[in-house]
Amino acid sequence: MGFHLCSTCGRPVFDNCASFMVELPDGGGVAMVGPACADGSMLRVCQQLAADGAPPVDPALLTGLEQLRGALAG
Ligand SMILES: [Zn+2]
């Protein structure tokens, strides 16, 4: 079974699981992301974790998720 890594969070997205292609703004190319990132649930979890401060959230991950949300909203 194949998989690719989610462009945003780096977690594996297996081929039998829906993945989403998102065109990034500013010539960022096309991201292939997993369902949790595409539907915003990963962003909500990371924002909650960042608010709580534990465990620490990689700021780059939060930024990536917010950019993804912007790309999906646009
Ligand atoms: Zn992801």
Q: Is 65 helix (H, G, I), strand (E, B) or coil?
A: helix
Report CA(46)–ligand 1 centroid distance (Å): 11
Cα–Cα distance between 25 and 72 in angstroms, integer? 10
Cα–Cα distance between 66 and 22 in angstroms, integer? 13
Give the pLDDT band of residue 10 (cuts 50, 70, 90).
very high
38 sits in which H/E element: helix 35-38
Of residues 25 and 2, which shows the higher confidence score?
2
Report CA(12)–ligand 1 centroid distance (Å): 8
Ligand 1 ion: Cβ-proximal residues, 5 Å cutoff: 6, 8-9, 34, 37
pLDDT tens profile 12-65: 998 887 788 888 777 878 888 999 999 999 999 999 999 998 888 999 999 999
